[in-house]
Amino acid sequence: AKEREGTVISRFLFLLILVVRDFIYTLCGSITKLIMASKAAKIKSKEEMTIADQKKINAFANANAALQDVKEELELKKKEIQDLSDAGDDVLMLEDSGNVPYRLGEIFISVDQDEAQSMMETAKTAAEERLVELKQRAGEIMGTMKQLKVDLYAKFGDSINLESEE
């Protein structure tokens, strides 16, 4: 009963963390948009802000938020790949040929060493494929952001700041 209670609490905490993370991302995106809108409002009167310009600024802010999400997921995938690699090495180093626990979602199942190794390799391959997809996505987003920067800096010059504060 305590084990089940611990699992329920773990699931609840995990879901709570996801909700809080999503809230923070939404809040950061809104703050970024407000900052960008504030900066746009300060632009000299001779540089008229059009709806198209505002859309470009919003697109840049959204792309920047998406890039941060992709970068975070990239780091998580890199860690997952490293963890799977370490676990695979640990399984290879086991001396007996008995069953080993393998995490499948939120539960552990008992499988033989060969099957565990195979499952980890499959998971690692999937994670590596996702890593490649994420790198491509990051490149696409950065390309979009670069073009938006060129367009916006060409019109507004130093009156607008599109550099990240990292």
**Of 9-13, 104-108, 141-145, which gets the smallest average pLDDT?**
9-13
Query: Is the pLDDT reported for residue 166 higher than 70?
Result: no
Question: pLDDT tens-digit profile of 59-77?
Answer: 999 999 999 999 999 999 9
Looking at residue 44, what is its pLDDT? 47
The answer to whether the beta carbons of residues 96 and 90 sit under 8 Å apart is no
Mean pLDDT of 21-28: 81
